[in-house]
Amino acid sequence: MFMQITELSNGYSRLLSRVDPRAKLLAAGLCMVCVSAIRGFDAALAALLFALVLTFAAGVRLQNAVLRLAPANVFFLVLGFVLGLSYPGKTPEGIPWISLDGLELALRIAVKGNTLLLVFMAMVCTSSVPALSHALQALGLPRKLTLLLAFTHGQVFLVRDEFHRLHRAALARGFSPRCTMHTYRTYAVLLGQTVLRSLSRAERIHGAMLLRGFTGRFHTLASPALGWREILLVAALGMVPVLICLHDRWPL
């Protein structure tokens, strides 16, 4: 019924997870733009290999990575099935309804998609959301937006627990979810009730924050420095997909 919320940033102490999130965000952006510009299949495979090394360096567990890549790969599988049957192009001898071009395109999309997700997982998801929010603000995103991100992340777990409580209470009263109008009405009421409780909580939180002297800025205890060693490390990591992309576009 309900998806579990887990964070990759918990309990990882590998090299990349200690790097300043600003540097990681910039490097991730560079890597991802380069990977998305790759056209050749060999270059895409090389980038995937690099992304796997990066994921290992970030200390992401294999099980976590596989679980997180699963939904995207289901999408790629369905896309491959559809493109394999419908994409215009070459067909294998004797099987005119299968498109080789479609299958090749789907495979290239899957390789690039997994590469982009692994880079994102290794470079971005290994930082906590509050740290990311600080980093995004330092990189020039509007303060209101980054505050909204930090506040929302803080509230997600409270609202989830609130919804769980209401849902458990409904189940205890004999509610059994089925494809019926009663089920949809019950979920709508649970959602509406959650919205109402959230609104009153928002007013309490806002009042409490003002009482504690909130002036629109969050200060973090963890403030990793952006030193030369980190910049060099991230630049070196960012250079690999740049070189792969350059070699793909202009081979020697």
Partner 1 sequence: MHIAEGVLSVPVLAAGAATTFVGIWIGLRRLEENRLILAAVLAATFFVGSLIHVPLGPSSVHLLLNGLAGLLLGWIAFPVLFVGLLLQAVLFQFGGLLVLGVNTCTVALPAVLCGCLLRALLARGGRTALVAGFAAGAGAVLGTALLTALALTLTDQGFLVAAKLVVAAHLPLAAVEGLVAMFAVGFLGRTRPDLLAGRMTSAGEAMPC
Q: Using the rule CB under 8 A, is 153 a contact of partner 1?
A: yes
Asked if residues 69 and 143 have their Cβ atoms less than 8 Å apart, the reply is: no
Among 14, 37, 91, 226, binds partner 1 (CB under 8 A): 37
Considering only the stretches 13-21, 106-114, 219-227, 239-247, report the one whose residues sit in contact with partner 1 under the rule CB under 8 A: 106-114
Residue selected from 15, 171, 191, 236 as contacting partner 1 according to rule CB under 8 A: 191
Distance of CA 93 to the CA centre of its chain: 41
Kindly tell me the burial class for residue 51, based on how many C-beta atoms sit within 10 Å of its own C-beta (0-12, 13-18, 19 or more): buried
Judged by CB under 8 A, the stretch of 15-23, 90-98, 192-200, 219-227 that binds partner 1 is 192-200
* Closest approach of partner 1 to the CB of residue 126, in Å: 10
Beta carbons of 74 and 141 less than 8 angstroms apart: no
Structure tokens at 251: 């081979």
Rounded-to-integer distance, Cα 140 and Cα 130, Å: 16
Look at residues 241, 5, 249 and name the one whose alpha carbon lies nearest to residue 123: 241
42, 77, 154, 249: residue in contact with partner 1 (rule CB under 8 A): 154
**Residue 147 sits in the site that holds partner 1 (CB under 8 A):** yes
Nearest to 57 by CA among 121, 115, 117: 121
For partner 1, the binding residue among 90, 152, 165, 168 (CB under 8 A) is 152
Q: Which of residues 164-183 bind partner 1 (CB under 8 A)?
A: 177-179, 181, 183
- Cβ contacts of 207 within 8 Å, gap of 6 or more: none
Q: How far apart are CA 1 and CA 219, in angstroms?
A: 37
71 contributes a contact to partner 1 by CB under 8 A: yes
Query: Counting contacts by CB under 8 A, is residue 241 touching partner 1?
Result: no
Q: Judged by CB under 8 A, does residue 139 bind partner 1?
A: no
Report if residue 3 touches partner 1, rule: CB under 8 A. yes
Q: Which is nearer to partner 1, 184 or 232 (CB)?
A: 184
Q: Binding string, 196-215, against partner 1, x = CB under 8 A?
A: x-xxxxxx-xx--x------
Sole binder of partner 1 in the list 46, 125, 234, 245 (CB under 8 A): 125
Nearer to partner 1, 206 or 249 (CB): 206
Query: Per CB under 8 A, does 1 bind partner 1?
Result: yes
> How many binding residues for partner 1 (CB under 8 A)?
86
Q: In angstroms, rounded to a whole number, what is the distance separating the alpha carbons of residues 156 and 162?
A: 10
Q: Is residue 136 a contact partner of residue 25, using CB atoms and an 8 Å limit? A: yes
Q: Is 233 in the site for partner 1 (CB under 8 A)?
A: no
Nearest alpha carbon to residue 13 among 50, 44, 57: 57
